[in-house]
Every structure is written in structure tokens, then in C-alpha cells.
Structure 1
Amino acid sequence: MISLVARVLHTEPYSKEEVLTELEVTNETLDAVSLTENTKHIQTYKLHQRAMHVFEEALRVQKFYEECIRASGSAEGSLVALGRLMAESHASLRDNYECSHPQMDRLVELSEGLSFGARLTGAGWGGCIVALLTHSTVDNYISTIKEKFYKPLGIDGSELNTLIFATEPNQGACIYQTTN
């Protein structure tokens, strides 16, 4: 899909007229089927960039999964590889999907050198980041981010504990069913 996007979609934004022509639909149909109320006014679409992000992100997820399986719980080299994938993901979210925010980018930038990698999470346009760390670097990371990011914003005290905190990987969500 990545090579198909590179070959078929041009990098310049598509005009709404181009989209209508390519899809062979009317403006009314495009509005009704594909656009939401807050996007109907848009007149240009970065189809190449958005599609590249989606398909490259799928590839990064696959590589992340494979690295986790390969590492089977130890090797610091794997953490470096996983962190690199996270950094690539953030760059794509920022540049191709354009769903980051300068404050998110600042947090990711501050994370460089303190973590293996960091990226925005929670669908972007604000929200939060996740950074990959070892147990031994968590306290330094949190105190550095508090000092260099939150303190200049005038945020300190107990409120900070709800804004920055450590978590650990877990099995994630699951569904339990009973047999009654």
C-alpha cells in the first residue's frame, strides 16, 4: 500500500474538485457520505500524506509487535528499536497527519535523551504523550519534565501528579463472559 500511495497519489493537496472528479460524485454526495459538519468547508485534502501515515503506521505497529516477540522480555537493544519506532510514529503524526500540537511536540522533544522514544497518544490534537523508559530512569524523567515543561507553565504542586505519572505495560482490555 505504501508503494501504491507513492505511485498513485500526488503530494500536493487535492482540491475538492479533484476529489469529486476522482470519486465521480457530486459535492452533495461527498458531503453526505464522507464529510462531517466540521469538515464540509474544507477545500483541499492532503490525501498522500494522510494515506502514507496510515499505512506506514500499520507497518510500524507490525514491526513493534515483532520486536516485542523477538526480545521476549529483556534486551536493551529492543528498547532502542521500539523507541525509534515511537519517535517515527510521532514525527508522522506531526508532519503527515498533522494531529499534534506545539506543546505535545515540546514534550516529545524534552523526552529525547531521557527516554528510548516518545509519541503522542489519545488521537492527537492535544491529549498526552507516552514515553518508553526503564524502571531506573522513571524518577529522573518525571522530575525533568515537571521542571522543564510544567513549571514554566505555572503548574506545580499536587496537581502535577495527575498530569505526569508512571504506568507499566499490562495485558490491556479484555471481555469476560459467564456461561449462565
Structure 2
Amino acid sequence: MQNDALKLVVIGGSWGGIQASLGVLKDLPVNYSIPVVLVLHRLRNQEGSLQELLDKKLPLKVVEVGDKEPVLPGHVYLAPANYHVLLEKDHTFSLDDSELENYSRPSIDVTFTSAADVYGKNTVGILLSGASRDGSSGLKYIFEKEGLVVAQDPAEAEVATMPQAAIATIPGCRVMNVARIQEFLLALHEH
């Protein structure tokens, strides 16, 4: 079990990212051995709770990230609207409301970079559909720290800009469709 605590899956997406992330996460078991952090761009004043929607549709417990909350397996941690999510060396979260990055808060790059700083080669970064370039430099940083990096196949993405930027930026980026990403995550699960 000690080894599991050192792994982390970070997923980023924007336009089309909610549907893609549901597809990626829908069949992960309730006892999935690796914590998942999900950073989705959304409107700052969006009605309805994305956390409640995801929690109803996924077997894993979906919680909105709280400051100083511990990072635990069996959870999908959703970045709250209007906050950057950072990972700390003691495997807790911190929330930050500093400037927008890539016109976004939460910024995928911010979370990806801080995850790689803490989890290094045990970081799995996945970039899904989206209309901005946010995420590609953070994904490259995970790759440079020897983590695993995946971009959704742009041909399948609702908006291809985000995964295409990652593929162009990272020569070693794996390209997979949603079904394949799901299989990849299931294969990482330690029973």
C-alpha cells in the first residue's frame, strides 16, 4: 500500500473535457488505488454543481478539493471554480487564487507542474479535449520528470486544440482515444 500513496493521476480538460473525463473515469472501481485530480475549465458563475453531476455518474467518490485536504486513493478530486490547485510535499492540497494562467483559474498547467514536483515519475498526466493551450507546458513538465503523459486523440476530441498543443510540444506523448485511456488507467490499478 505504501507504493500506492506515491502515485497520482492528473487530468485536465476544457471544452468537451467533462464528457471525455466521464468516459475515462466511468468504469474505474470504487477502490481505485491511485488518487485522481481533475482540472476542468468552467464558467466562473456556472449554475449547477459539477461535483454532484460527476459524483452521480462515477463509482469513485468525487469531492471538490479543499485546502489542506489529504490526497487519498479511491477519490476523484475536482478543482473548484476560480482556484488553482497545488499539491504539497506532505501529500495535501493547497488552493490559490492568484492571477489567471492561460486565461484560466484553475489552470491545468499549475496543477500538472506542482503534481510533477511532488510525485515525479509517479505522475500520470492526461490532457483531454479543450479550446486553449493550457495544460501542454504542464504535461511537458511531467514528461521531463519522467512521468507518463497522454493526450486524447485529437480526431476524437470535441475540440482538438488542447491535445494537439500537447502532442506538438511533447515528442514522447502517448495519443489515445477515451476508451484506450480508460484501459490504460485500469491497468495501473493495484488490486
TM > 0.5: no
- The TM-score with structure 1 as length reference comes to 0.27
Q: Greater strand share, 1 or 2?
A: 2
Structure possessing the higher radius of gyration over alpha carbons = 1
Greater fraction of residues in helix = 1
Structure with greater contact order relative to length (CA < 8 Å, sep ≥ 6): 2
